[in-house]
Structure 1
Amino acid sequence: MAYSANDNRYSNMTYNRVGNSGLLLPAISLGLWHNFGGVDTYENGRAMLRRAFDLGITHFDLANNYGPPPGSAEEMFGRMLKTDFAPYRDEMVISTKAGYHMWDGPYGDWGSKKYLIASLDQSLRRMGLDYVDVFYSHRPDPNTPLEETMGALDQIVRQGKALYVGVSNYDAEQTAQAVKILNDLGTPLLIHQPRYSMFNRWIEDGLQDVLFENGVGSIAFCPLDQGLLTNKYISGIPSDSRAAKANTFLDKNRVTDVVLNRVRKLNELAVERGQNLAQMALAWVLREGRVSSALIGASKVSQIEENVATLNNLSFTDEELVRIEEILKK
């Protein structure tokens, strides 16, 4: 059945400015890290992408290695662009990244100009695009001069293959250096994509200040800490959870009694606020206006609907924020 986007898709979504740029991102963005690869059911991914766009999610975040297998999430999204989203391309912000292993040999990993430009060319072919809106250096490369990596990002913009550039997983010092290099080249750094959640607050120790002082935006990945900040773990580790499975990014050893106690107390506060824990955790990430967008993952349509409903209550009282801090310290 042919897809026609919801006429009211922009009515209830919040859009936030990215740093000092002219670009707006939805407060909730959708990442294709998991559940959109070649091993996953295409129609489920298609249903999630359609519903996300119908709810006003205009930003879809990918990377060259998303799948599995690597590259297959971009292929899946390219298929969607061709069959469903082609009329709406100019209403979307599509991002991809390069920085992790993609192919054998010395040119398929890290941050050299050779790798970044070749990888983006491959990504564009997989998605059937002439350009992406944002292209990221996915991680810093300790063995490649930062000038070379940033120079590649500048070249990519000048070639018309990306409108903006970003970095991910860079610390405060690396980000400050990247900002200076890119400013000198004339291609400002648009955005940083760090891991950030109630349980992982490293960006508050310097990075957020660097971003704010330089007019760089941010989009938080893993705002629910791989599912820990949801109702799923309130009673322990369920058999179908990430922590119960091998070869996932959530180590079951992290799900300690101390962590579970925090989860339960946070959930109690969320219920008092009229939200579930995931919704409160997303609202918390967005709370100060320093984070432009919270990047969610999903395995089913209902999760996207639930996360977008976060926008019904984004504000916190001072008392609630103090209570959260107390819970997180115990």
Structure 2
Amino acid sequence: MYQAASDRYEKMEYKRSGRSGIFLPRISLGLWQNFGTDKTLEEQKAILFKAFDLGITHFDLANNYGAPNLGLAEENFGSVLKSDLGQYREELFISTKAGFDFWPGPYGNWGSRKYLIGSLDASLRRMGLDYVDVYYHHRPDPETPLEETMGALSDLVKQGKALYIGISNYQADEAEKAIKILAANGTPCLLHQPRYNMLERWVEDGLLDVLDREGVGCICFSPLAQGALTGKYLYGIPQGSRASRTGTTVGARYLSPERLVKIKALNSLAESRGQSLAQMALAWALRRKEVTSVLIGASSPEQLMDNTAALKGLDFSQEELDQIDRILS
């Protein structure tokens, strides 16, 4: 049976999430990719074990991860918990989400009370857990009253099925309303999970201010722009890469000729800092005082080691930050 590295907590930095009592690793592991059918369970175990050995305590899932087999990431993670990681349950911080299309019919999408409660019950069964540490509403629902959605999340905390509440993909005004409803319910919002990277900076236009003012942590997904902010696509799209897969949005979203010129310039700056582009991109996201952690994906233990090395170079000079802004303008 797996035994965790005894020095794991010496390898990671941790930061308090907002005004809560929770500290998260500065780099967390998301199971959006690589935890469905594209890797064997043994390969998935190797990634999860290396993450925990590096001091990564936070593992982030959702009901729809593992596509095309929705829910498979939770099932696979539950299998690893049962066989190996479960002995460390109290050292793990596990989250899941609901809000995107999952079940057929009218009760498997968005933010109704029925969907959110039913989805968490199913997620707990798939993972073999009594509770998750954080349960997120995955995206705003334009039709369901926010009071119903936040009320369901609050009740799940009061039932002991989740310890904390999070929201994801909410704009600044939506987030502020949700946070205030949760506070009135006596179940403060612990985390907001937005997409944030060098190529997508919308959170800087009000959302981070809201989170800072309300004492809510921020954990950013896609800090590497789905691999675009790595060296992987500097000279084309490699066979077998994420951008080469049918149906992917990576190329259209991030790899236009204009974007590639900027990415290559960022890569040159990273080299001058003695970092890989991925390491610099992670450090750049973590530079904001409002950012508690960044969520990375990993296809191998080696990728995890390279990414966590970003913590050795978190400081930027003002000249470097100005140069990044000029490149991205």
TM bracket, shorter-chain basis:
over 0.9
Give the equivalent residue in structure 2 for 1:225.
225
Cα distance in 2 for residues equivalent to 1:254 and 1:215: 32
Number of the residue aligned with 2:179: 179
For residues 78-103 of structure 1, the C-alpha deviation after alignment (integer angstroms, 9 at most, x for no partner) is: 01111111210000100000001111
The whole-number CA distance in structure 1 between the counterparts of 2:244 and 2:98 is 29
Deviations 1:19-75 (A, max 9, x none): 010100000000000111145311111100000000000000000010021111000
Which segments of 5 or more consecutive residues in structure 1 lack a partner in the other structure?
none
Structure 2 partner of 1:66:
65
3-state DSSP of counterpart to 2:8? coil
Matched residues, number:
328
Structure 1: how far apart are the matches of 2:107 and 2:169?
A: 21
Query: Corresponding residue for 2:93?
Result: 93
Looking at structure 2, the residues matched to 299 and 319 of structure 1 have their Cα atoms a distance apart, in angstroms, of 34
Name the structure 1 match of 2:36: 37
Q: Is the CA contact (8 Å cut-off) linking 1:70 and 1:102 kept in structure 2? A: yes
Residue aligning to 1:212: 212
1:12 is displaced (CA, Å) by: 1.9
Q: 1:279 and 2:279 equivalent?
A: yes
| TM superposition shift of 1:180 | 1.0
Which position in structure 1 is the counterpart of 2:8? 9
Residue equivalent to 2:294: 294
Does the alignment pair 1:249 with 2:249?
Answer: yes
CA distance in 2, matches of 1:7, 1:147: 45
Asked if the contact 1:236/1:260 (under 8 Å) is kept, the reply is: no
In the TM superposition, what are the counterparts of 1:104-119 in structure 2 within 5 Å? Answer: 104-119=104-119
Q: Which residue of 2 aligns with 1:307?
A: 307
Kindly report the root-mean-square deviation, in angstroms, between the aligned alpha carbons of the 2 structures. Answer: 1.0
Say if 1:233 and 1:263, in contact at 8 Å, map to a contact too.
no
Tell me which residue corresponds to 2:326. 326
Counterpart residue number, 1:19: 18
Query: Which residue of structure 2 lines up, in the alignment, with residue 48 of structure 1?
Result: 47
Q: Note the residue ranges of structure 2 that are not aligned, 5 or more in a row.
A: none
Using the size of structure 1 for normalisation, the TM-score is 0.97
How far, CA to CA, are the matches of 1:148 and 1:253 in structure 2? 33
The alignment partner of 1:30 has SS state of strand
Q: Are residue 120 (structure 1) and residue 120 (structure 2) matched?
A: yes
Q: Deviation string for 1:88-139 (max 9, x for gaps)? A: 0000100000001111111111100000000000000111110000000001
Kept in 2, the 8 Å contact 1:78–1:128? The answer is yes
CA contact (8 A) 1:38 1:76 kept: no
Structure-1 residue corresponding to 2:146? 146
Letter in 2 for 1:19: G
Q: Kindly indicate whether the alpha-carbon contact (under 8 Å) linking 1:196 and 1:221 is maintained by their aligned counterparts in 2.
A: yes
Question: Does the aligned pair in 1 maintain the 2:172–2:207 contact within 8 Å?
Answer: yes
The Cα shift of 1:150 comes to 0.2
| Bigger Cα displacement from structure 2, 148-157 vs 79-88 | 79-88
User: What letter is aligned with 1:162?
Assistant: A
3-state DSSP of counterpart to 1:34? coil
3-state secondary structure, aligned to 1:75: helix
Q: Find runs of 4+ consecutive structure 1 residues off by over 2 angstroms.
A: 236-245, 251-254
**How far is 1:243 from its partner?**
2.4
Q: Contact (CA 8 Å) 1:61, 1:96: kept in 2 or not? A: yes
